[in-house]
Amino acid sequence: MGIHEQARNETKEHFDVQISERKLWAAVLLQALEDWHSGNVRRQIEAEKFFFDCEKDFASVCRGAGLEPSSVLVKLQRMKQVTQPLSSAAALSRGLPQQATTA
């Protein structure tokens, strides 16, 4: 095998590894998003903490997925504004006041 062919193979392998890593980190973000919108209160709380309270971890995962953390965060904040608030149980566990319900 010539030096050019060897370099091409090594470049392809490196590229394949990068793509696999991006897919892995994108799957982590997707799972957190699914957890955030799940019916499981504990998962909702953990996902929300990850998105909005764990800046370094969130940024690392976004960059690993090939995304700009600030852009992803802006989209998540928009989603948070238009989605229904956390359930009363989730609000209680976070120490937030419950929303009053009207009859």
pLDDT 10s digits, 43-94: 999 999 999 999 999 999 999 999 999 999 999 999 998 875 455 445 545 5
In the predicted structure, residue 100 carries a pLDDT above the cut 50: no
Q: Identify the band that residue 13 occupies on the pLDDT scale cut at 50, 70 and 90.
A: low
Residue where the block lists tokens 């953390």:
69
Q: What's the pTM?
A: 0.67
Residue where the block lists tokens 């062919």:
5
**Amino acid occupying residue 28:** V
In the predicted structure, residue 12 carries a pLDDT above the cut 60: yes
For residue 68, what is the DSSP state?
-
